[in-house]
A and B are shown apart, each in its own frame.
Chain A
Amino acid sequence: DTGVSQDPRHKITKRGQNVTFRCDPISEHNRLYWYRQTLGQGPEFLTYFQNEAQLEKSRLLSDRFSAERPKGSFSTLEIQRTEQGDSAMYLCASSLGGGTYGYTFGSGTRLTVV
């Protein structure tokens, strides 16, 4: 287990297209988080899963965003009808339990919408 993996590392897409990102967490971690980070800002919480259940969604997560974690393993984040404002780094993190021991982050997927 080499940590949290995210794929792809970079994605350039045209406005209006759909994109999907994948995250593979540390296998022992039952919680998985998605964050978005734009230039000059810290990571902003989007959503999290405990096992396969999506327990919380930020108001930042518009109807165009959907996330899944089938079988409580890897997770996907899909953005439909992308807009230029969706351009950002999308970070995935995982933790054991409620995060008392902190999160382990992936390298992120940088999305550019042109």
Chain B
Amino acid sequence: AQRVTQPEKLLSVFKGAPVELKCNYSYSGSPELFWYVQYSRQRLQLLLRHISRESIKGFTADLNKGETSFHLKKPFAQEEDSAMYYCALSGGVGAIFGKGTKLSVKP
């Protein structure tokens, strides 16, 4: 069965500290993985895709097929990074989302 697991409901860090939001997936084929972000009072928006291997707002994510993980990382967190983050898996039909991790960056 297709599944996305985000083990942390809440992650709290201080400004300037490194951040890692965990995402593990279960999928039998070749997955397409994404990170979405939702800032307060804003709509859900795409942050980055694994196939583009890009860095957006300082965030990167590497697909590890052996560990079936797609963790989101940023070396130095900023207060404006505070938001809900969702990992999503696209298997050709509707994407499956994790339950989300709330990132809180304290000054």
Q: Is A45 an interface residue (CB 8 A)?
A: yes
> Which of A58, A100, A102 has a CB less than 8 Å from the CB of B94?
A58
- 0/1 interface trace, chain B 89-107, chain A, CB 8 Å (1 if under): 0101111111110000000
Q: Are A43 and B97 in contact (CB-based, < 8 A)?
A: yes
Q: Is A44 an interface residue (CB 8 A)?
A: yes
| Distance from B84 Cβ to chain A, minimum over Cβ atoms (Å) | 9
Q: Is A99 an interface residue (CB 8 A)?
A: yes
Q: Are A105 and B90 in contact (CB-based, < 8 A)?
A: no
* Cα-based distance from A43 to B96 in the complex (angstroms): 8
Interface positions of B from 48 to 73, Cβ below 8 Å from A: 49, 51
Q: Is A21 an interface residue (CB 8 A)?
A: no
Q: Are A56 and B95 in contact (CB-based, < 8 A)?
A: no
Q: Are B46 and A104 in contact (CB-based, < 8 A)?
A: yes
Q: Is A26 an interface residue (CB 8 A)?
A: no
Q: Are A98 and B94 in contact (CB-based, < 8 A)?
A: no
| Distance from B9 Cβ to chain A, minimum over Cβ atoms (Å) | 8
Which residues of A come within 8 Å of B, CB atoms? Answer: 33, 35, 40-48, 55-56, 58, 91, 98-108
Task: Name 13 A/B residue pairs within 8 A (Cβ), A-sorted.
Answer: A42-B88, A42-B98, A42-B99, A46-B94, A48-B93, A56-B93, A98-B90, A98-B92, A99-B32, A99-B90, A100-B51, A105-B43, A108-B43
